[in-house]
Structure 1
Amino acid sequence: MKRKLKALGMGLLLAATVIGLAACGDKNQKSGAEKTDFSGDTLKIGVWGGNESEEQSLSKLISQFEKDTGAKIEKKVYTEYNTQIQADLIGKTAPDAFYVDASMYPFFSENGALMELDKEKMASDKFYDKLVDIFSTDDKLYAIPKDLSTLALYFNTDVFEKTGVSIDDVPTSFEELVSWLPDFQHKIDEAYGKGKVFAMSYNPEMARNLHLAQRGDVSIETKDGLADLANAKIVDNLSILKDLVDTKAFVTPQDIGMGWNGEAFGAGKLAIMDEGNWVYQTLKDEYQKINFTVGEMPTYKEDKGSMMFSVGWGKYAGTKNSDLADKWIQYVTGTDGMALWVEGTGTLPSRQDVAEATKITDNADLNVHLEAWEYATPWQKGVSLTTIDTAYKNFVPKALDGSLSFKEAMTKADEQANTDIEASN
């Protein structure tokens, strides 16, 4: 099946040739001498809005780059990134360099929106190789990762102390948690009162569950780009979630009246949560009374697993400022630029030398997240990932509350996703 360009998350049909036309910009620039004097030049960069620490860190990067090069950075902040970046690509007004989320990379790659990056110039050998692979096609590099995040387990040490349970006694596999959680929940209820604190949280979305779904070399997407959630192996893999929910000790933040894991954990309502390293500084800054430690995600079917998220910097295929775009990407993903970024934002560096220079490897909690890059599943699939995820989130609750079997729920999810996918082709 030949797939055409479509809007991520919107299901809008677009002409596949539009972005291809944008790709004829500055591809031949490499044949000439590389430009080194950027005084008075302007580079347009595209980003989405971040939190205060991210905004401040980006501003510092921009200021230092402008000082070092004499160039000016023009920043465009997108509020609806997936839709707005496409509009700029179609109109051939896309920024010279812009954020490329790992989950969106297949879309940009398939539609020729990115210019190839020079591996040697970008020092790609300094980055964790799995991250380089995420942003590569046919062994060619099209974006370079600026940071990464992974999931790990957070343990509220005060809850464990009050219940008389040792964190060392927590099972290290999802299968063992099924039989262990009820007794732990009983001890929590005795210590705090029923319904006050819960043993463990989860999130019923594919961005958290993909590493479970794809155990045993199976994929949620067929070779033709269709959803395959009802695949017998995937249904079997995901059934562990139903087993855990049935313990009555495995809850979503929304089940207990909270917006997200960090809020629920910070309010002292969870003993264990699986969360990304982005929550670490939030807990330190906003929930200082909560004492915690971090450990690896549980194994499943005898293998380690987690999720990994990354955002890279890519260069617009139609840029007329290729050398300056390279200079910017080199700086923000180089040792000094990345150190400034990760120290200011709490994200993890995508290269080992920066992890050591910033002493993140000396932080036992954050190092758990960092080391997970080796076995974590990247949040990336084909261009239909958002569509499949939406259908999954619509129907997995019915499997978890028992109103449908897992097979029935995933069959309906496939039907919804594939209807939307076919409609956009």
Structure 2
Amino acid sequence: MKKSFKRLGLGVLAGVLLVGLAACGGSKDGKAGEGKTDFKGDTLKIGVWGGNEAEEKSLDELIKNFETETGAKVDKKVYTDYNTQMQTDLVGKTAPDVFYVDASMYPFFQSQGALAPLDKKEFESDKFYSTLIDTFSTDGEMYAAPKDFSTLALYLNTEIFEKTGVSVDEVPASYEEMVTWLPGFQEKIDKAYGKGKVSAMSYNPEMSRNLHIAQRDGGAIEDKDGRSTLSDKKVVDNFSILNDLVATKGFVTPQDIGAGWNGEAFGTGKLAMMEEGNWVYQNLNNDYKDIKYTVKPMQTYKGEKGSMMFSVGWGKYSGTKQSDLADKWIKYVTGKEGMELWVTGTGTLPSREDVAESAKIADNKDMKVHLDAWEYATPWQKGVSLTTIDNAFKNFVPKALDGSMSMEEAMKKADEQANADIDAGK
């Protein structure tokens, strides 16, 4: 369910959106028709991005059930370049009545007035994991209801461990300890499989995987004005662990070993360990059935647990003229019945605690690791400049990790690029 979004001209569009949304036909809070209950003949337009087969099937089932219950028609619009096209529709006042809101893009959509507030009591916010409600709230107001979430966890190929004579219980609990442990483990792997055949562990040089590291000890990648602060001393110090891990020669990217992503590298037996989201679980079970694995929490760093959390919410367009029908849709798909249908069909984690209990997610020991991470995982979200900062980080952190620049130099260059892009968009 995690999506990678391309940010194209957000700064330029921001000013247009502020003007355009102020002139929207609907009321400011999206409440065009108070208390309407008869929806026969009405049409609700929903905006989504394309999902996998299971997600498409589950969404279509939700739509069918909703149409049967309400007598309304649901018009599904599937976007291919979601955020760019959604912004175009917002400017043109043709946005869907309800639409997907990725946590990373929530600050932008909310700041531009594109989302109508949702009453927390009416939408049962107390039933959801608190971290997720906070992710889609501003100044105490909730602007999207989280439909599901994912977290990162550590996957271990038990067959590789057995062949090297190492127990999965020997894997250190902290990144700091991994620095001294990985070289020996990689030597044993090389002895068992041949040098260059299998690597100990993978990493991804993306901020979406490393924000939890960047923010240890109060590190910040963005200031209150939305400018990049990757060269902050605390951030640079935090990222030093990546240099130390890469230096072990057992810490590689999937691309370093000829794979497109972690799941492929792990599934083809090229990795002993990977940090990945629960979306990989069904992929491994369906496409790589011969791989035997177990799932554990990720290593601690500087004495604290860490992971990343990714979530998507259903938001209501502030200019909708189908406010009550939009509310009814969001209540259904994020309610107990609708969410049970969704998570059962898609294998995603429910954002409601009562659904996690009724769906017996914790009975699956691997999924329980992902579920439990909600308490300490860092949401993939900052301010409106997150995508720009992420792009700069991805451009320069490889130079720090291959030794062509120090981490401090690389992050200064990343700041320069990010802030130039941010300023150009104002």
- Provide TM-score, normalisation by structure 2: 0.96
Indicate the SS of the match to 1:216.
helix
Q: Which residue pairs with 1:3 in the alignment?
A: none
Aligned counterparts, 1:16-415, within 5 A: 16=16, 17-23=18-24, 25-27=26-28, 33-415=34-416
**Deviating more after overlay: 366-375 vs 31-40:** 31-40
User: Is contact 2:309–2:377 with CA below 8 Å preserved after alignment?
Assistant: yes
Cα offset, 1:396, TM superposition? 0.3
Shift in CA distance, 43/27, structure 1 to aligned 2, threshold 3 Å = same
* Letter of the 1:18 counterpart: V
User: Is contact 2:163–2:192 with CA below 8 Å preserved after alignment?
Assistant: yes
Shift in CA distance, 197/81, structure 1 to aligned 2, threshold 3 Å = same
For structure 1, the 5+ residue unaligned runs are: 1-6
CA distance, structure 2, for counterparts of residue 387 and residue 381 of structure 1: 11
User: Is contact 2:148–2:351 with CA below 8 Å preserved after alignment?
Assistant: yes
CA distance, structure 2, for counterparts of residue 28 and residue 186 of structure 1: 61
Cα offset, 1:10, TM superposition? 1.2
Cα offset, 1:82, TM superposition? 1.1
**Deviating more after overlay: 63-72 vs 391-400:** 63-72
Cα offset, 1:30, TM superposition? 5.0
Shift in CA distance, 121/401, structure 1 to aligned 2, threshold 3 Å = same
Shift in CA distance, 334/136, structure 1 to aligned 2, threshold 3 Å = same
Indicate the SS of the match to 2:218.
coil
Q: Given the alignment, which residue of 9, 12, 31 partners 1:11?
A: 9
Cα offset, 1:119, TM superposition? 1.0
Cα offset, 1:11, TM superposition? 2.8
Residues matched between the structures, number: 419
Indicate the SS of the match to 1:172.
coil
Shift in CA distance, 294/29, structure 1 to aligned 2, threshold 3 Å = closer
User: Is contact 1:46–1:98 with CA below 8 Å preserved after alignment?
Assistant: yes
What CA RMSD, in Å, does the superposition of the two structures yield over aligned residues?
1.3
CA distance, structure 1, for counterparts of residue 54 and residue 364 of structure 2: 20
User: Is contact 1:22–1:90 with CA below 8 Å preserved after alignment?
Assistant: no
Cα offset, 1:23, TM superposition? 5.0
User: Is contact 1:149–1:310 with CA below 8 Å preserved after alignment?
Assistant: yes
Cα offset, 1:410, TM superposition? 0.3
- Provide TM-score, normalisation by structure 1: 0.97
CA distance, structure 2, for counterparts of residue 319 and residue 156 of structure 1: 49
CA distance, structure 2, for counterparts of residue 410 and residue 350 of structure 1: 35
* Letter of the 1:364 counterpart: K
* Letter of the 2:144 counterpart: A
Shift in CA distance, 248/212, structure 1 to aligned 2, threshold 3 Å = same
* Letter of the 2:9 counterpart: G
* Letter of the 2:400 counterpart: A
